[in-house]
Amino acid sequence: MSAELFRGWELYDRITRANHMKHAETEAAVRAALARRAGPLRVLDLGCGDGRVAADVLAASRVSDYVGVDLSEGALDLHARRPAPGSCLTATRRLICGDIAGTLATLPAGGFDLVLAGFSLHHFPTDRKAGVLGDTARVLAPGGWFVWTDTYRREGESREAFLARLFVEVRTAWVAATPDEREQFVSHIGEFDHPEPLSWMTGRLAARGVALAEVLYRDEFYVSLHFTK
């Protein structure tokens, strides 16, 4: 996300706390699913931001090692001020300021029991996203979980048609932002967001040996998916 738009994370934090992107519903669904996942867990968080979401969804999880990746130095500074995610007081934490794709390529195969991606992978165009998913499958340990929360397109819907629907939502419903800020979001989304249909999301991972286990949440714009390797 552009530093110009989010000004040190404050604007994005305002949007998420107003629940304009259904963080309350998606986080509740993910938290309930992770409560069924035994630990200890080695966790990779792709697009970890300031750590608020990880702290929420992993609150009851036995996390032994946590690696968070994000491009925003400001968000990672906030992350570092929080306790490490999870219920284990001895968990290690490493925060990496860098590109998700580039960082994934450097991580060891089978190194993680759980990979989280929340509203981060839609920033990759389709061909690059396929590579990111391939590396996500590679770093998952056998039996590992991948939990992916993101925007998605309806089957047969073009990117342009999806964006038109979302722009109406942003302009009319995102009242935590000023009208000018909403237009900045529209411009940002139009330039950087590349959502995929569910069939693409599940099919690409299935081809890498990572199968859809459960749809945790779904509405007309957002989805949370639980995959297993």
The tokens for 42 are 């080695």
Averaged pLDDT, 204-226: 98
Residue 192 pLDDT grade (very low, low, confident, very high; cuts 50, 70, 90): very high
CA angle 215, 44, 203 (to 5 degrees): 40
Cα 142 to Cα 190: distance, rounded to the nearest angstrom: 37
Let me know if 117 is exposed, middle or buried by CB neighbors in 10 A (0-12, 13-18, 19+).
buried
193 phi/psi in degrees, rounded to 5: -95, 130
- What are the pLDDT digits (tens) for 197-208? 999 999 999 999
How much is the pTM?
A: 0.94
CATH of domain 15-161+194-228: 3.40.50.150
Does the pLDDT at position 136 exceed 50?
yes
DSSP-derived secondary structure letter, 61: S
- What are the pLDDT digits (tens) for 66-100? 999 999 898 999 999 999 999 988 899 999 999 99
CA angle 156, 221, 208 (to 5 degrees): 65
Phi-psi region of 84 (alpha: psi -120 to 50; beta: other; left: phi over 0): beta
Any idea where the domains of the chain sit in the sequence?
A: 15-161+194-228
Averaged pLDDT, 137-165: 98
- pLDDT of amino acid 8: 55
- What are the pLDDT digits (tens) for 97-129? 999 999 999 999 999 999 999 999 999 999 999
